[in-house]
């Protein structure tokens, strides 16, 4: 856990080189233009970065979540937008791997793992964010089909994805009435509304998804009716680890830019890193980065061994995303006026970091998860 194997080091080197070579040349212009390039995503897939934890039987590398997090950190250190794209594309693979039948796995997983297909995840709605069990999108059985109606918000890859894992209500109120479905991107009755104009992650599209009598085969049901909330929560537990890994990438990139600048920038004939006001700021940035990485690695390590990881995943997500916001903001401070300009990437890191505290369950929700576990451990079940 504290020393990477030669194979893991090779993966890190390959992910770093691929991210820099594929994403680096158009990074700034894509952020400014809010442009997602599906061809660049496909190139990340061709480099082996889109199916790292997916079984080799379905086109993946068959590695663990630990290795997945190593690669995501490298991608996010270059572009958090594409780090999120790789992570979101991974969610349908995780869900199919656990809940899909063989036909569903064979149909979708090889293409997703290769980056030839793009995946999406559709849970949130206009009135259903942190309270996921209150979703209103419906799926009504109609013979050998389901008819879907409703609206989903905040959908990464909306309008670009080839398949979405979508949660809809097939039964009564609450979590037991929710089911999960595979929704192909070319389904009749599926359309897309406004594209969100975001502060950060501007090269990652976030779009409203609209269902108007969208008809899908009954065989697109994942698991059984009523499994949807469990599917969603399992996906979010895994997704929290990946968001935390992306946040570590933001931390690391911010620390690197700020430290390099502080070593080169002189005031009063002295590098500003030698002034305690700056040097201590950088020391705290480095500590937050390393502590975040260790939490991420522990959560991934637990998941890879089939051990309980939900609480540690919540801790990793909460701590690492808060750290990304603090480290990137402090990085801007180290650069002063330059940090506030687009000449340096720190302002982008800061913009990208903010949403990490919100997605995959807000950090307030993570603290609820952690405190409930403390209640069970030290106070007994209520």
DSSP characters for 240-284?
Answer: HHHHHHHHHHHHHHHHHHHHHHHHH-EETTEEGGGSHHHHHHHHH
- Nearest CA among 36, 112, 116, 48 for reference residue 79: 36
Give dist(CA 266, CA 119) in Å, integer. 48
Q: Which residues contact 53 (CB under 8 A, 6 or more apart)?
A: 60, 61, 62, 63, 64, 65, 67, 68, 90, 93, 94
- Nearest CA among 12, 19, 31 for reference residue 347: 31
- Nearest CA among 223, 90, 209 for reference residue 150: 209
CB atoms within 10 A of CB 46: 14
H/E run at residue 74: helix 65-78
Give dist(CA 18, CA 117) in Å, integer. 19
Q: What is the dihedral of CA 68, 69, 72, 78, to 10 degrees?
A: -140
Give dist(CA 314, CA 150) in Å, integer. 30
- Nearest CA among 112, 132, 212 for reference residue 180: 132
**Which residue in 208, 311, 347, 360 is the catalytic one?**
360
CB atoms within 10 A of CB 339: 24
Sign of CA dihedral 151, 154, 157, 160: positive
Strand partners, 211: 150, 190
Whether residue 290 lies in the annotated active site: no
As annotated, the active-site residues are 360
């Amino acid at each position: 856990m504290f020393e990477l194997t030669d194979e893991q080091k090779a993966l890190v080197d390959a992910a770093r080189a691929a991210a820099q070579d594929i994403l680096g040349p158009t990074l700034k212009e894509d952020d400014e233009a809010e442009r997602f390039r599906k061809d660049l995503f496909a190139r990340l897939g061709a480099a082996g970065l889109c199916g790292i934890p997916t079984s080799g039987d379905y086109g993946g590398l068959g590695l663990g979540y630990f290795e997945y997090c190593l690669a995501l950190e490298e991608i996010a250190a270059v572009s958090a937008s594409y780090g999120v794209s790789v992570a979101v594309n991974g969610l349908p693979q995780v869900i199919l791997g656990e809940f899909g039948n063989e036909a569903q796995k064979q149909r979708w997983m090889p293409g997703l793992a290769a980056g030839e297909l793009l995946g999406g995840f559709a849970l949130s709605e206009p009135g259903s964010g942190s309270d996921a069990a209150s979703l209103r999108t419906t799926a009504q059985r109609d013979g050998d089909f389901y008819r879907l109606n409703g609206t989903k918000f905040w959908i990464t890859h909306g309008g670009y994805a080839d398949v979405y894992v979508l949660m809809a209500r097939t039964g009564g109120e609450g979590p037991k009435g929710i089911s999960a479905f595979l929704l192909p991107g070319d389904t009749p009755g599926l359309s897309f509304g406004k594209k969100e104009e975001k502060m950060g992650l501007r090269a990652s599209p976030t779009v409203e998804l609209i269902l108007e009598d969208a008809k899908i085969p009954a065989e697109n049901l994942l698991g059984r009716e009523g499994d949807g909330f469990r599917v969603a929560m399992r996906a979010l537990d895994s997704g929290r680890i990946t968001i935390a890994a992306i946040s570590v990438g933001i931390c690391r990139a911010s620390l690197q830019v700020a430290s390099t600048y502080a070593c080169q920038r002189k005031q009063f004939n002295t590098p500003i890193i030698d002034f305690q006001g700056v040097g201590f700021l950088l020391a705290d940035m480095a500590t937050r980065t390393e502590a975040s990485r260790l939490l991420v690695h522990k959560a991934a390590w637990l998941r890879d061994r089939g051990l309980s990881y939900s609480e540690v995943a919540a801790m990793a997500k909460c701590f690492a995303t808060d750290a990304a916001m603090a480290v990137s903001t402090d990085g801007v401070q180290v650069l002063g006026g330059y940090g506030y300009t687009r000449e340096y990437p720190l302002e982008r890191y800061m913009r990208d970091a903010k949403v990490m505290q919100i997605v995959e369950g807000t950090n307030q929700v993570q603290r609820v998860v952690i405190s409930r576990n403390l209640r069970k451990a030290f106070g007994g079940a209520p």
